[in-house]
Structure 1
Amino acid sequence: MVNDMRATWSPDVIDRKVMESIARDAGVVALKHFSSLSNVQVESKGHLDLVTAADREVEALLTASLLEAFPADSIYGEEGGEIRGTTGRTWVIDPIDGTFNFVRGGQNWGISIGLFENDQPVFGVIYAPVRDLMLSGGDGYETQMNGIAMAALPPLIPSQGSAGISFHPSVPTADRLEVVRFVIEDLDFAFRMGGSATLSLIEVAMGETDGYVSLGDSTWDVMAAVPILRNLGAVHSVDWKNTGLDEKLRWACGSEDFLKSVTPLLEKMNAAQTGRTHV
């Protein structure tokens, strides 16, 4: 269930400062819209699944900046942007993860830029503009927050356990209730629901929670955070070699003890999903 495979990658082609600058520039654009929310045009992609002009403008900036820095790489973006390159590397981007929070004036949203190569996430930058939190790291790069190396994840203390959880709007109510029941009853953990995978995974990195469980994340929600967290000792349950970039994830990430504790839940949730698809 645990996946922590390293990709064969030459990290010297990535300039951390350049990548963080791209994320910060995207944050400036997003904050411009955030500061004038009454004028933001909001469209609906589905129930509680929103897209704004800010998403599109930020993704356009990210795409242009990445193409300038890495003209031969592929780009895969949440808002429909897909550009095929020739290197075998793909930048997977989420311009604003936590759009629902964004349009309501909340702080829990962020920008995610992850690099996918050899069937693995290998490098990431995530930026939460309102909180001015910049995290980056991956294979060959220590994980840093605002330029300072981050400490390893703390050990899991079950009596103080805390989990971040998240559900895509399409997830059946019964599955959502089972996740909450398992966390608070079987594990006796506290839980948080922040409405943004990126911010929930930042909380794991900062030791505010022991791990994260989600039913329905997209790959662009988590691609940057996975290598950032891996450097801190985190493991996860995604089999990237057999997971398409367009798939929804039923997964968990955190310390080894956290992942072990939620593995029965993941097995049950994945079995339930498989059963429905075969009905």
Structure 2
Amino acid sequence: MFDILTPLAHEAGDLALTHFRQLADTAISEKGPLDLVTVADRAVEALITDRLHAAFPEDGILGEEDGLTPGISGRIWVVDPIDGTFNFVRGGRQWAVSIGLWQDGQPVLGIIYAPALGLTLTGGAGHAPLLNGAPLPPLSPYLPDRAAVGVGLGRAIPASERIEMLRFLTEDAGIMFRCCNASTISLIEVALGEVDGHVGYGESAWDVMAAWPVLVALGAVSTLDWASTPLTEKLRFVIGKPELVDACRPLISKHAVPTH
């Protein structure tokens, strides 16, 4: 399957990179506060969805820009054409193309291509986790005295709750945090061991679908039960090393169910 997905993600990312090098204010419109959509978003998503339809005509596709196109196979491709749009329009390099596959209520495989960083993350069911084609080792042991997480601060979650999350991490849990405004990049940092996990407050399925099965294959656990979570829901979760997830569990609703 990656014989189709990898060249597709690279073509889509290279198209985005062409736009990135030719940014103009006239190419940017606003979907909402701090939520920007560019000509590049639309062009990249159109390219990906056209190719996925051609390669997998019975599958559904859920794109950030165009919503859900139903299929008949039970599989849904979940696409974020440019995750980290705010970084993209500011000239930052932390953005990526993300293509993940959802099947039987679970993320099963995915690919993330961050062309400005030169990174390609792949993996999932039947496919070993790879970074730029090289195998990734399992997640390293958790060291609480140097614990760190990436955070996603979606505006769907009230500001007071986002602030409380950051307070809990720094004061109660003693965990350092960093926010790069691109969930895909933050999750790559988990895969690389640069952080121990990721706390998502208000992210969407297309932000995390591609990286999720890769992290699980590396030994990550989470608080999110995908089987009972609609793909259109704004997410609140922790994923990462088991000890990190346990330390952050108070941030998540008591109804969350730990899953692998």
Using the size of structure 1 for normalisation, the TM-score is 0.89
Aligned pair partner of 2:244 in 246, 258, 273: 258
Aligned to 1:84: 70
Structure with greater contact order relative to length (CA < 8 Å, sep ≥ 6): 1
Aligned to 2:100: 114
- Tell me the CA shift for residue 267 of structure 1: 2.9
Quick one: distance in 1 between partners of 2:112 and 2:174?
A: 30
Can you give the 5+ residue segments of structure 2 that lack an aligned partner in the other structure?
A: none
Quote the residue 2:166 is aligned against.
180
Q: Report deviation, 1:264.
A: 1.0
* Cα deviation digits, residues 107-127 of structure 1 (max 9, x gap): 111111000000000010011
**Taking every aligned residue pair, what percent have the same amino acid on both sides?**
48
Corresponding residue to 2:154 among 151, 168, 172 = 168
Of 199, 218, 233, 1:213 maps to: 199
Q: For residues 143 and 259 of structure 1, what CA distance do their matches in structure 2 show?
A: 21
Amino acid of the structure 1 residue aligned with 2:111: V
- Give the equivalent residue in structure 2 for 1:66: 52
Is 1:232–2:218 an aligned residue pair?
Answer: yes
Alpha-carbon distance in 2 for matches of 1:40, 1:258: 43
Structure 1 spans left out of the alignment, 5+ residues = 1-13, 271-279
Instruction: Find the aligned partners of 2:116 and 2:18 in 1 and give their Cα distance.
Output: 11
Q: 1:124 to 1:198 in 2, by over 3 A?
A: same
Please give the secondary structure, in 1, of the residue aligned with 2:252. Answer: helix
Matched residue SS, 1:137: strand
2:113 matches 1:127: yes
Deviation at residue 263 of structure 1 after TM alignment: 0.5
Structure 2 residue aligned with 1:196: 182
- Offset at 1:168? 1.0
Q: CA RMSD in A?
A: 1.4
Work out whether 1:102 is the aligned partner of 2:88.
yes
Write the distance in 2 (CA, Å) between the matches of 1:186 and 1:160.
15
Deviation of the 1:40 alpha carbon = 5.4
CA contact (8 A) 1:175 1:269 kept: no
Preserved contact between residue 156 and residue 234 of structure 2 (Cα < 8 Å): no
Q: Distance in 2 between matches of 1:182 and 1:157?
A: 18
Q: 1:275 corresponds to which residue?
A: none
The one-letter amino acid of 1:64's match is: D
Q: TM-score, normalised by structure 2?
A: 0.95
1:46 equivalent in alignment to 2:24: no
| Structure 1 Cα separation of the partners of residues 159 and 103 of structure 2 | 35
Contact 1:138–1:231 (Cα < 8 Å) also in 2:
yes
Provide the rounded CA distance (Å) in 2 between the counterparts of 1:156 and 1:182. 19
Report the Cα distance in structure 2 between the residues aligned to 1:81 and 1:32, rounded to whole angstroms: 25
Shift of the 253–33 alpha-carbon distance from structure 1 to 2, 3 Å rule, reads same
* Consecutive aligned runs of 4 or more in structure 1 exceeding 6 Å deviation: none
| Mapped contact 1:161–1:210 kept (Cα < 8 A) | yes
Q: Secondary structure at the match of 1:37?
A: coil
